[in-house]
C-alpha cells in the first residue's frame, strides 16, 4: 500500500502477527450464475497474483464483476471454472474441513458498515462474535481481544457499550475492521470500503488500512470504482470490464501511461489526484453508452461496443492477454508498449 503510514510499535496480542503471510492467486477464474434469463458471466477467465503484503486494486464500472470476484477471493463463492490459490493451497481441491480452517485467514469487508452489524448487539459483542463462532478462548479472553482490536482501530473503549445506531458511518466501518482483525486475517478483500463514508473521513480510514498492513503484513484486494481511491492505496491495479481483465500493472504505470483504450477512457473521465497540468494534457475520451449485459457479452473484445478504436477484427477475435511492457499487461489487439490505439472514427 502506498498510502501514508504512521509509525507505532507492533504488539503481540490477539490481533498481533501470526507467522508467515501468504499471497493469493486467481487462475483462469470463472464465476457464472445460472438465472432464468440465462447464464450470467460475472467473472469470465481472470488470472492474476497478489504478492504477500501487497495491495492489489481492482477497478471497474458498476456490473463489471468486482464484488463477485472479491467474494470468490474471500472463499465465499465456488468457482465455476479455474481456481484460487492461497499460498500452497488450491481452494477447489481442499477438503471441506481444511477449507473451513483457512476461512479465517481470508476475510472480506463490504461497503455498508451498518448492514454488517447486528443492531441488537453492543459493539463489544459484535467485535467478539467472530471469535465466539470460532470457539476461540473463553469469554474474558474474547472480551480482551475485542477491546484491543477496538483500541487498535482508534476507537475509545466506551464505544464497546454502545449500539450501532449511536455511531457515525466512519466509527461503524472501524468497528467492522476491528471485528475482522480479531481473527488475525492474512488477506482482506476491501469492497468499496470507503464509498459510503463522508469524503472528509475517507483518508483517515484508508490510512488505517495502510497502518494495519504495515503492522500485521496483511495482503489486500482493494475493490473500488473510484480511481482516486485505488491509485492512493494500491501497489498494482487490475482493470475489470464485463468479467475480464483489460489491463494490469503497477499503479503509476497504469494511471500515468495506460495501455488499454478502456482504461484511458476511465481515467480521462475521472478527476485524478494528479498535478493539474498532467491531467489537462490528457485527451478526454468519452465512453459511449452503458456496460452491456453479462448475459450476452459482445463477441471478440468485450469493449468493442464502446471502444473508440474498435475495428472489424475486434468483433471476431478475443484479444490475447499480453505483457506489453515489463509487468504491465493488456488485452487489446492494437495496444503496444507506446500506448493504446487512437480513435478510428
Ligand X SMILES: Nc1ncnc2c1ncn2[C@@H]1O[C@H](COP(=O)(O)OP(=O)(O)OP(=O)(O)O)[C@@H](O)[C@H]1O
What span, in angstroms and rounded, lies between the C-alpha atoms of 305 and 296?
A: 12
Interface with ligand SF4, residue 261, by CB under 6 A: yes
Shortest-Cβ-distance residue relative to Mg ion = 67
Q: How many CB atoms lie within 10 A of CB 87?
A: 15
Choosing from 30, 67, 234, 264, the residue that interacts with Mg ion (CB under 5 A) is 67
Q: Which does 116 bind (CB under 5 to 8 A by kind): ligand SF4, Mg ion, ligand X, none?
A: none
Interface with ligand SF4, residue 163, by CB under 6 A: no
Residue 159 grid coordinates: 464505544
What span, in angstroms and rounded, lies between the C-alpha atoms of 311 and 42?
A: 25
What span, in angstroms and rounded, lies between the C-alpha atoms of 228 and 241?
A: 18
CB of 243 to ligand X, least distance (A): 7
Q: How many CB atoms lie within 10 A of CB 345?
A: 5
* Residue number with CB closer to ligand X (82 or 160): 82
Choosing from 301, 324, 328, 329, the residue that interacts with ligand SF4 (CB under 6 A) is 301
Choosing from 33, 163, 321, 334, the residue that interacts with ligand SF4 (CB under 6 A) is 334
Interface with Mg ion, residue 171, by CB under 5 A: no
Strands (E), 124-203: 187-191
Interface with ligand SF4, residue 307, by CB under 6 A: yes
Q: Which does 35 bind (CB under 5 to 8 A by kind): Mg ion, ligand SF4, ligand X, none?
A: ligand X
CB of 344 to ligand SF4, least distance (A): 8
Q: Which does 7 bind (CB under 5 to 8 A by kind): ligand X, ligand SF4, Mg ion, none?
A: none
45: left (phi over 0), alpha (psi -120 to 50) or beta: left
Interface with ligand SF4, residue 227, by CB under 6 A: no
Candidate ranges 64-72, 164-172, 310-318, 328-336; the one touching Mg ion (CB under 5 A): 64-72
CA atoms within 13 A on the CB side of 160: 22
Burial class (CB in 10 A: 0-12, 13-18, 19+), 288: exposed
Candidate ranges 100-108, 126-134, 213-221, 302-310; the one touching ligand SF4 (CB under 6 A): 302-310
In 3D, which of 48, 17, 56 has the Cα closest to residue 217?
17
Interface with ligand SF4, residue 258, by CB under 6 A: no
Sheet architecture: strand order including 24-35: 38-50, 24-35, 81-86, 89-90
Residue with cell 474498435: 310
Interface with ligand SF4, residue 127, by CB under 6 A: no
Strands (E), the chain: 24-35, 38-50, 55-59, 81-86, 89-90, 106-109, 187-191, 219-224, 236-241, 244-250, 322-325, 328-330
Residue 275 grid coordinates: 498535478
The three-state secondary structure class of 229 is: helix
Interface with ligand SF4, residue 309, by CB under 6 A: yes
CB of 239 to ligand SF4, least distance (A): 11
Interface with ligand SF4, residue 243, by CB under 6 A: no
Choosing from 319, 324, 328, 329, the residue that interacts with ligand SF4 (CB under 6 A) is 319
Q: Which residues ranging from 3 to 62 are in contact with Mg ion (CB under 5 A)?
A: none
CB of 285 to ligand SF4, least distance (A): 11
Q: Which residues ranging from 277 to 306 are in contact with Mg ion (CB under 5 A)?
A: none
* Residue 131 backbone phi and psi in degrees, to 5: -70, -35
**Number of residues that make up the chain:** 345
Q: Which does 140 bind (CB under 5 to 8 A by kind): Mg ion, ligand X, ligand SF4, none?
A: none
Which spans of this chain sit near Mg ion (rule: CB under 5 A)? 66-67
Which spans of this chain sit near ligand SF4 (rule: CB under 6 A)? 261, 301, 303-304, 307, 309-310, 314, 319, 332-334, 341
Amino acid at each position: 500500500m502506498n498510502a501514508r503510514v504512521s509509525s507505532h510499535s507492533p504488539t503481540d496480542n490477539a490481533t498481533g502477527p501470526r507467522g508467515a503471510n501468504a499471497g493469493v492467486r486467481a487462475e483462469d477464474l470463472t464465476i457464472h450464475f445460472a438465472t432464468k434469463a440465462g447464464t450470467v458471466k460475472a467473472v469470465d477467465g481472470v488470472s492474476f497474483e497478489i504478492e504477500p503484503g501487497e495491495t492489489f486494486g481492482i477497478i471497474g464500472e458498476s456490473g463489471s464483476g468486482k464484488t463477485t470476484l472479491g467474494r470468490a477471493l474471500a472463499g465465499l463463492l465456488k468457482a465455476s471454472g479455474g481456481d484460487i490459490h492461497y499460498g500452497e493451497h488450491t481452494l477447489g481441491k481442499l477438503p471441506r474441513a481444511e477449507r473451513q480452517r483457512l476461512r479465517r485467514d481470508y476475510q472480506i469487508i463490504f461497503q455498508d458498515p451498518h448492514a454488517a452489524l447486528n443492531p441488537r448487539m453492543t459493539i463489544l459483542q459484535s467485535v467478539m462474535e467472530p471469535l465466539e463462532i470460532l470457539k476461540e478462548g473463553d469469554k474474558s479472553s474474547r472480551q480482551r481481544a475485542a477491546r484491543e482490536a477496538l483500541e487498535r482501530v482508534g476507537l475509545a473503549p466506551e464505544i464497546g457499550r454502545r449500539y450501532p445506531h449511536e455511531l457515525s458511518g466512519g466509527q461503524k466501518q472501524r468497528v467492522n475492521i476491528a471485528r475482522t482483525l480479531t481473527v488475525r486475517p492474512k488477506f482482506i478483500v476491501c469492497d468499496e470500503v470507503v464509498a459510503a463514508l463522508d469524503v472528509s473521513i475517507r483518508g483517515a480510514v484508508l490510512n488505517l488500512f495502510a497502518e494495519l498492513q504495515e503492522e500485521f503484513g496483511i495482503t489486500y484486494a482493494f475493490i473500488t470504482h473510484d480511481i482516486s481511491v485505488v491509485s492512493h492505496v494500491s501497489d498494482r491495479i487490475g482493470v475489470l470490464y464485463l468479467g475480464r481483465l483489460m489491463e494490469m500493472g503497477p499503479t503509476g504505470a497504469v494511471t500515468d501511461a495506460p495501455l488499454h483504450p478502456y482504461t484511458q477512457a476511465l481515467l480521462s473521465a475521472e478527476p485524478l489526484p494528479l498535478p493539474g497540468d498532467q491531467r489537462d494534457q490528457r485527451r478526454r475520451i468519452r465512453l459511449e453508452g452503458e456496460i452491456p449485459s453479462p448475459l450476452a457479452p459482445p463477441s471478440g473484445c468485450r469493449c468493442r461496443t464502446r471502444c473508440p478504436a474498435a475495428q472489424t477484427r475486434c468483433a471476431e477475435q478475443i484479444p490475447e492477454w499480453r505483457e506489453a511492457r515489463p509487468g504491465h499487461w493488456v488485452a487489446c489487439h492494437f495496444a503496444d508498449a507506446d500506448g493504446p490505439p487512437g480513435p478510428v472514427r
